[in-house]
A and B are shown apart, each in its own frame.
Chain A
Amino acid sequence: MRLSTEFIAGVIAGGILGYLFDHLLGTKPWGMIVLLMLGFVTGIYNVMRVSGFSGQKAEKDRPEGS
């Protein structure tokens, strides 16, 4: 549950950013495409950081599980 929300939040944040970017600058659909991919990457990066898979030390004091 915990890892999945971390991933989904990344994608959603990217999607919202992309939508706003397109809406404000009129660059449909490119902002959405680029930022959704960036959000996907961020989601995976977040999951790696939380689960301690990445090279750098996981953020300390993060509770484990759920």
Chain B
Amino acid sequence: MAVSVDPIHQFELQPLVSLGHIGNQQIAFTQSALYMFVAVGIIALLTIVATSGRSVVPGRLQALAETLYEFIADTVHQATGAEGKRFLPLVFSLFMFVLILNLLGMIPYAFAVTSHLIVTFGLALVVILTVVIYGVAKHGTHFLGVFVPSGVPKPLLLIMVPIEIVSFLSRPISLSVRLFANILAGHIALKIFAFFVVQLLVAGAWGVLSPLPLALTIALTALEFLVAALQAYVFATLTAVYLADALHPGH
């Protein structure tokens, strides 16, 4: 059988152009990097070229770009207030990047970049470093108010402050693991259920049952499209919520 049975095989990195070695580690331009460039290209096409007409009555692509922009602008405004406007480019870029990469990953035989923990963790690190650097630059030591929950009796602060500190440090982890785990699990489930169809078809009389996993695969595909969009939204919303902390520390 030529088709790879291994559900993990689709996540392997294939080096396209080798850029040399550092130690024993090959540094290469992989298909993952290629997909990221493609995603950036699509985003640029959608947001720059499609809106370059600046028509008052938008065409299809311009309407799509404007809808996405206003959607994120609303989300950021709700979470951070008027001051959060300056973070809109960051949140919008992150949202579009994750959304396009998730949707690209849904194309059959395509590679899902966001199924790699290091990619999502890099994105989460950008968010958290922005929060910390901006918070410290703007509020100085007052930024430490993030770790002091309001309305808690003084003696309890002895326990609550360490918990808040660990909670703050767990944010980039939960932010990245959530996106990565959703995409990874979804793609593995799709692959496994789709392979059940093939296995039943080659199993003689059992082939009668093969429409069952096929129906499930179709349903899962729809679900994965929902997850792809929803996780991009969740990522953007949580980014906005964390940035709100940088703007207004001390709850």
Contacts and interface: CB of A to CB of B under 8 A. Distances in A.
Interface of A: 1-2, 5-6, 8-10, 12-14, 16-17, 35, 38-39, 41-43, 45-46, 56, 59-63, 65-66
A14 B181 contact: no
Interface SS of chain B: helix
A42 B185 CA distance: 25
B220 interface: no
A41 B152 CA distance: 17
Interface string B148-181: 0101000000000011001101110110011001
Contacts, number: 75
Interface stretch (B26-34, B139-147, B225-233): B225-233
Contact of B151 (A10, A16, A38, A56): A56
Contact of A61 (B78, B177, B181, B231): B78
Contact of B149 (A8, A43, A56, A61): A56
A39 to B, nearest CB: 6
A66 B234 contact: yes
B174 A1 contact: no
B130 interface: no
Top 10 A-B residue pairs of the complex, sorted by shortest distance between their CB atoms = A9-B174, A13-B170, A9-B173, A9-B170, A42-B166, A5-B178, A13-B169, A10-B170, A61-B79, A42-B167
Given A9-B177, A39-B170, A42-B170, A66 B162 contact: no
B192 interface: no
B182 A12 contact: no
B166 A17 contact: yes
A1 B166 contact: no
B237 A1 contact: no
Interface string B177-202: 11001100100000000000000000
A66 B237 contact: no
Contact of A12 (B75, B170, B238): B170
Nearest to A18: B166
A5 B170 CA distance: 10
B177 to A, nearest CB: 5
Contacts of B88: none
A14 B234 CA distance: 24
A60 B167 CA distance: 17
A49 B199 CA distance: 45
A39 B149 CA distance: 17
B241 interface: yes
A16 B173 CA distance: 11
13 contacts: A5-B174, A8-B174, A9-B171, A9-B173, A9-B177, A38-B162, A61-B75, A61-B79, A61-B241, A62-B238, A63-B233, A63-B237, A66-B234
A53 B92 CA distance: 31
Contacts of A8: 173-174, 177
